[in-house]
Amino acid sequence: MQLLISDSNILIDLFVIDQIENMFKLPYKFAVPDILFDEELKLQHSDLLNFGLEVKSLSSETIAYAFELAERYPKPGRNDLFALALAQQEECSLLTGDMDLRNAAESEAIILYGTIWIIDHLVRHNLLSIVEARDAYQKMKELKRRIPWNIAYAHLDELENELKVLHLT
């Protein structure tokens, strides 16, 4: 099963729309760096472990790499850079919606996905309907989550049309 490293904002996006449990039903393994979990998630979201979230340690070489990243990319937060470094260590993709982290990850040639990708997969795996996805986006929008709304809704429209065509054939 493919491993995906997440920053905290993706997990929080899924929490606020009550889809975190469904996210862990997708055919992927999800992990975060241990320091990110301890500092950002443990207190309010320790139940993520019950859903299957893995907490991974960074090697000493990876920690050194994270500090190199901090010198090259001053805007992403330290824990975000630890997530990027862990994705590099584990040779896997990174889940983030943070633009500064996305820019750094692209420069480091790390494959990226975000909340829109997760919502897409929830729909494709019949864990969320198109209507529920629209409602989820509306709730995230009301809660001031940072998503490129024009892209999110356009993608959902495309997905809806694609699914209609598949059901017609």
Q: 148: helix, coil or strand?
A: coil
At residue 157, what is the residue type? D
Question: What per-residue confidence (pLDDT) applies to 164?
Answer: 84
Residues 112/102, Cβ–Cβ less than 8 Å: yes
Pairing of strands 93-95, 112-113: parallel
Q: What percent of the chain has pLDDT over 90?
A: 91
CATH architecture of 2-114: 3-Layer(aba) Sandwich (3.40)
Question: What per-residue confidence (pLDDT) applies to 169?
Answer: 52
Question: What per-residue confidence (pLDDT) applies to 146?
Answer: 87
pLDDT-based confidence at residue 151 (cuts at 50, 70, 90) = very high
Give per-residue pLDDT as tens, 13-64.
999 999 999 999 999 999 999 999 999 999 988 899 999 999 999 999 999 9
Furthest CA-CA distance within the chain: 54
Report helix angle 99-107 to 60-72, nearest 10: 110
Residue extents of the structural domains in the chain: 2-114, 116-168
Residue 32 phi/psi, 5-degree rounding, is: -135, 160
Residues 137/119, Cβ–Cβ less than 8 Å: yes
Tokens at 158, concatenated: 């495309």
Element (H, E) at 56: strand 54-56
